[in-house]
């Protein structure tokens, strides 16, 4: 298991963590199999989406805000219920195939950490699964 640390600067942000996850896979020596990437936070999540055009990140954040506005009459007293709901919609993990020691993502795909209650110090867990290790 490999732990990755990151700092978020904004309340809401989609941060490209593809290079961090790729480095973790490389460090693990995994050649074939999969990498489970897990977010152990209740107000943040993970997604795989386009990373060629940064406007996609802004569009996702905007659409989630419209789906779950922060001013709904939530009962949770901490004032971050919208972040909990958005994180639940996003999901807390991604299972990524590994081929030849590298993530086997599509041409335009990247791995994103989705912050909904920042700024905060966060971490991700990468668990290499299967295949030969060098």
Q: Is residue 67 part of a domain?
A: yes
Give residue 134's pLDDT. 54
Give residue 77's pLDDT. 84
Give residue 27's pLDDT. 95
Give the total number of structural domains in the chain.
1
Percent composition of the chain: helix, strand, coil (DSSP 3-state, to 5)? 25, 35, 35
pTM above 0.75, yes or no: yes
Give residue 133's pLDDT. 56
Residues with Cβ within 8 Å of 133's Cβ and at least 6 positions away in sequence, in order, are 28, 29, 30, 31
Q: Is residue 134 part of a domain?
A: no
Q: Is residue 60 part of a domain?
A: yes
Residue 25 tokens read as 């896979």
Residues of the chain with pLDDT under 50: none
Residues with Cβ within 8 Å of 58's Cβ and at least 6 positions away in sequence, in order, are none
C-alpha pair distances (Å), 113 with each of 73, 106, 110, 118, 128? 27, 18, 10, 12, 18
Residue in the structure block whose two tokens are 């990755």: 4
CATH number, domain at 84?
Answer: 2.60.120.460
Give residue 37's pLDDT. 98
Residue 79 tokens read as 């004032």
Q: Which domain holds residue 100?
A: 2-129
């Amino acid at each position: 298991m490999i732990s990755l640390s990151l700092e978020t600067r904004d309340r809401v942000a989609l941060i490209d963590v593809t290079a961090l996850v790729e480095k973790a896979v490389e460090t693990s020596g995994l050649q074939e199999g999969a990498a489970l990437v897990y977010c152990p936070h209740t107000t943040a999540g993970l997604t795989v989406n386009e990373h060629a055009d940064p406007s996609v990140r802004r569009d996702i954040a905007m659409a989630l805000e419209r789906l779950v506005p922060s001013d709904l009459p939530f009962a949770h007293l901490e004032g971050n219920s919208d972040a909990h709901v958005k994180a639940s919609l996003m999901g807390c993990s991604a299972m990524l195939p590994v081929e030849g020691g590298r993530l086997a993502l599509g041409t335009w795909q990247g791995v994103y950490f989705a912050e909904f209650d920042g700024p905060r110090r966060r971490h991700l867990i990468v668990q290499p699964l299967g295949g030969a290790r060098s």
